[in-house]
Chain A
Amino acid sequence: MAALSRSSILGRLKLPDNLVISPILSEIQLGDSSVDLRMGTVALVARAGGQSTVDPAVQLANNDVHASTERREQKHERFDVPFGHAFLLHPGSLLLVPTLEWVNIPADLQGVVTARSSWAREGLNIATATIINPGYQGIVTLELANFGEIPIKLYPGLRIAQIAFYELRSDNPSADRNHLDQSQFKMSFEPQAGKISDGDDKFLRTHAP
């Protein structure tokens, strides 16, 4: 896997039906081997209390629809944060935010999103290094956590993350392309809770001896 350099990223961005990062508002977003991403205008924050729990069992489709929907809807609180307004991220809190940029990843690339080091020094971290799979279309969901001891004010439009791209090696491109069509999160417009129980339902039921 080889990382794309600045010129390679730009070369890809110029090609039709290839890599898309839109819009890139300033040259300063283009690094030597990455592109800075800006915070979008939605904040999804886990809401303590009420019915909120993380329990994969209640997310199963064949469970009580009312219960699973209620828990899903009550687990997070969604905030719209227009430009010029701020959202406060408290120490120890987890926040899902979208990037301002729309990203399309072609079949032969993988994106890896990490925090910008300048923000990391302030305590703001992206909880996991997000891998963006080939074929993905949409905003990138950033899982922000405040590892410091003081609240951090976040403003939409700030550069808070960066994405690097890696070329994929494929032994069977057509099989990989067919698999892309079944991608789970096609055209993602805003952050949403992960589907943590999909495909694992056998492990979420009581098994009689």
Chain B
Amino acid sequence: MVVAQEFLLQECKNLRDLLDKTLRYKYEYAESRIFYDECSERLASLERAIGATTDADALGHEVIHLNELADLICRLERSSISEHSWPFVHELKRIASAICTEDTLAGSNTPNEIYVLADGGLHTYRIHPEDRRPSYTKKRLLTIVFPKSLKHFVLLHSILGHELGHAIWRCSKHGSEMRQQVETHIREGVFASPAATAAHIYSHSAPSKEKTFLGACDPQMQATTLFQGFADWRAWCEEILCDLVGLVIFGPSFVASECELLSSMNPAMTGFGAQHPPTAWRLNYLLDGAKILGHDARPPVSHPLRADIDAFWAHLEDFRSTDPWYSIFTEDQLRRALNGMKALLSRYPPAEYPIPTFERLEHLVPMLKRKIPPVGFRIANDGSLNCENVDFRHILFSGWITKASQPTMPVDKINQLCEHAIMQQIAVDISLAP
């Protein structure tokens, strides 16, 4: 096994060269040093481990780690800060750093290190949490992937609330608390068991288009076999919880982005995936959840924004499937699950979505209508300049409201104005800091 050992040590050297090349570009908003040092430390540990043994099994084990590290370094090497919206990433990281933490030797709330890259198109949104933290390192890396084609489309980026759910589920100290929500609140009714879910999918009351979908599937797939090789019931449960996390973190913007993305990727809105429950179920419980959380509050009829906010929610209601088959949770069940997620996320500010006042929206939405980035700045009647902190999720919500109420305004311009506003708001926050 000396040949293998020599070869693997050479590969470590190759990877170190590759790691050095990553510093040709600024690939991270914050400090590229964090990732460089982390990868460098991992590489050094692998070199030591490989150099210390010629045992075939032990070397085989190290090859797996070496390949994982090579993949990570190559992703770093291909990415640069100019390929994604760094102002959005700045805000997303504040949330992720608060909630995606774990117990390590370095502390009881050690945040995961977050690395961002841009790649691909619509389907690309995801977070890759490392399933396990290498024993010789203090850090676990989260890789957040944005679609390269949607660099400026910050309104849609709210979908990453769902992906944050996966990160919490998989790797943070809060994963078990989140999974407990499934046992306590989700495992009832349609989701009492895989058999109960399969029975609902194959029930006589299912809409005809769903029956048509099932008819076109593999004939081997039946109610009794659905979750025995064709779909993963536990993955569906995880998806549902992650949707609820996204809702609690991003509020109405999350519902809007999920409606737009899921309906665009599945225009017929029928069927399901091996890892994902039916799209129409998801949109229905998100719309119900937003109501339960009070996100759909309306100002008085006389309020200047009432028609705009009505237009936003009316647009989202168009995505609701009205057949009762699509509503899989009772209101009480959904309320308990959402309250469970709120109880978790509210302990880690700024993770929970802060519902904006109508006064806040009354400031932001008209700015967008006037084609001005909606930011926390105004000039009072006495001529004084007033800067104020504005949560970036309120900027996104004002963008969605404007999109729904101003159909002639180009969507890309609304997105760019909101992205610009998030950047400007960071400057405002800096100026207000003591």
- A-to-B contact residues, CB < 8 Å: 7, 10, 13-14, 17, 20, 22-27, 30, 38, 40-41, 78-80, 82-83, 100, 102, 104, 137, 139, 156-157, 187, 189
Q: Given A25-B427, A26-B431, A27-B385, A82–B90 Cβ distance below 8 Å? A: yes
Q: Would A82 and B29 count as touching, CB distance under 8 A?
A: yes
A26 adjacent to B426 (CB under 8 Å)? no
- Which among B184-192, B210-218, B371-379 touches the partner chain? B371-379
The digit string for B78-106, where 1 denotes a CB below 8 A from any CB of A, is 00011000110010000000000000000
CA distance A189 to B416 in the complex (A): 8
A30 contact set on B, CB distance < 8 A: 385
Determine which of A14, A83, A102 lies in contact with B379 in the assembled complex, contact meaning CB atoms within 8 Å.
A14
Known: A137-B371, A189-B416. A23 touches B428 (CB 8 A): yes
Please tell me if the beta carbons of B86 and A25 are within 8 angstroms of each other in the complex.
Answer: no
Contact check, B383 vs A82: say whether CB atoms are below 8 A apart: no
Which residues of chain B come closer than 8 Å to A79, judged between CB atoms?
26, 82
User: When the two chains form their complex, are residues B373 and A25 in contact, meaning their CB atoms are under 8 A apart?
Assistant: no
Residue ID in chain A nearest B25 by CB atoms: A79
What are 5 of the A-B contact pairs (CB < 8 Å)? A7-B383, A22-B367, A24-B377, A41-B86, A78-B82
Contact of A80 among B82, B367, B385 (CB under 8 A): B82
**In the complex the two chains form, is A10's CB within 8 Å of B383's CB?**
yes
A38-B428 Cα distance, complex, nearest whole Å: 12
Which residues of A have CB within 8 Å of B420?
A: 102, 139, 189
Q: Are B423 and A41 in contact (CB under 8 A)?
A: yes
Distance, CA A79 to CA B26, complexed state (A): 9
Interface residues of B in 30-77 (CB under 8 A from A): none
| Sample of 10 further A-B pairs with CB below 8 A, known A10-B379, A14-B383, A23-B387 | A22-B373, A23-B377, A24-B377, A26-B385, A30-B385, A80-B81, A83-B426, A83-B430, A139-B420, A156-B427
Contacts of A78 in B (CB 8 A): 82
**Is B381 in the interface zone, CB < 8 Å from A?**
yes
Complex contacts, A104 vs chain B, CB 8 Å:
370-372
Which of A24, A137, A139 counts the most B-chain CB atoms under 10 A from its CB?
A24
A102 touches B424 (CB 8 A): yes
CB-CB under 8 A from A25, the residues of chain B are 377, 385, 387, 427-428, 431
Distance (Å) between the CB of B397 and the closest chain A CB? 19
Cβ contact within 8 Å between B423 and A187: no
Contacting B381 at CB < 8 Å: which of A14, A22, A27, A189? Answer: A14
Closest B residue to A137 by CB, please name it. B371
Smallest distance from the beta carbon of B369 to chain A beta carbons, Å? 10
Asked whether, in the complex, the Cβ of A23 is within 8 Å of the Cβ of B424, the reply is: yes
Residues of B within 8 A of A41 (CB): 86-87, 423
Query: How far apart are A3's CB and chain B's nearest CB, in angstroms?
Result: 19
Note all chain B residues with C-beta closer than 8 A to A13: 379
B413 beta carbon closer than 8 Å to chain A: yes
Which residues of B lie under 8 Å from residue A26 when comparing CB positions? 385, 431
Contact of A100 (CB < 8 Å), options: B82, B370, B424: B424
A7 CA / B379 CA spacing, docked (Å): 13
Say whether A187 contacts B375, CB under 8 Å.
Answer: no
**Alpha-carbon separation in the docked complex, A17 to B427 (Å):** 24
Find out whether the CB atom of A80 lies under 8 angstroms from the CB atom of B427. Answer: no
Could you tell me if B375 and A22 are in contact, using CB atoms closer than 8 angstroms? yes
Give a binary string over B399-431; 1 marks a CB under 8 Å from any A CB, 0 the rest: 000000000000001001000100110111011
- Chain A contacts for B431, CB-based, 8 A: 25-26
Q: Give complex CA distance A38, B431 in Å.
A: 12
The docked-state distance in angstroms from the alpha carbon of A26 to that of B428 is: 10
In the assembly, what is the distance between CA of A78 and CA of B25, in Å?
12
| Complex: A62 Cα to B372 Cα, angstroms | 35
CB atoms of B427 and A22 under 8 A apart: no
10 smallest beta-carbon distances between A and B, as pairs: A23-B377, A25-B431, A10-B383, A80-B81, A13-B379, A80-B82, A189-B416, A24-B385, A102-B373, A14-B379
Quick one: closest B residue to A6, CB to CB? B383
The answer on a CB contact under 8 Å between A187 and B372 is no
Residues on A with beta carbons closer than 8 Å to the beta carbon of B383 = 7, 10, 14
Q: Please indicate which of the listed interface residues B370, B375, B383 has the most CB atoms of chain A within 10 Å of its own CB.
A: B383
Contacts of A7 in B (CB 8 A): 383
A160 to B62, CA, bound (A): 53
Closest Cβ–Cβ distance, residue A133 to chain B (whole Å): 16
Q: How far is the CA of A16 from the CA of B376 in the complex (A)?
A: 17
A22 touches B372 (CB 8 A): yes
Contact B385 A187 (CB under 8 A): no
Contacting pair B427 A157 (CB below 8 A): yes
**Contacting residues, chain B, for A10 (C-beta < 8 A):** 379, 383
Q: Assess A80 versus B413: contact at CB under 8 Å? Given A27-B385, A102-B372, A157-B427.
A: no
In the docked arrangement, what's the CA distance between A30 and B372, Å? 20
Q: How far is the CA of A40 from the CA of B424 in the complex (A)?
A: 9
Cβ distance B401 to chain A, nearest Cβ, rounded Å = 19
Cα separation A156 to B431 with both chains bound (whole Å): 12
Whether the pair A83, B427 counts as a contact (CB closer than 8 A) is yes
Q: How far is the CA of A160 from the CA of B358 in the complex (A)?
A: 36
Asked whether B381 lies within 8 Å of A187 as measured between CB atoms, the reply is no
Chain A CB within 10 Å — which of B81, B375, B376, B385 has the most? Answer: B385
Q: Smallest distance from the beta carbon of B94 to chain A beta carbons, Å?
A: 14
Q: Are A23 and B376 in contact (CB under 8 A)?
A: yes
Closest to A29 in B: B385
Identify which of residues 373-397 in chain B touch chain A, using a CB-to-CB cut-off of 8 Å.
Answer: 373, 375-377, 379, 381, 383, 385, 387
With A14-B379, A22-B373 as known contacts, state yes or no: A82 contacts B427, CB within 8 Å.
Answer: no
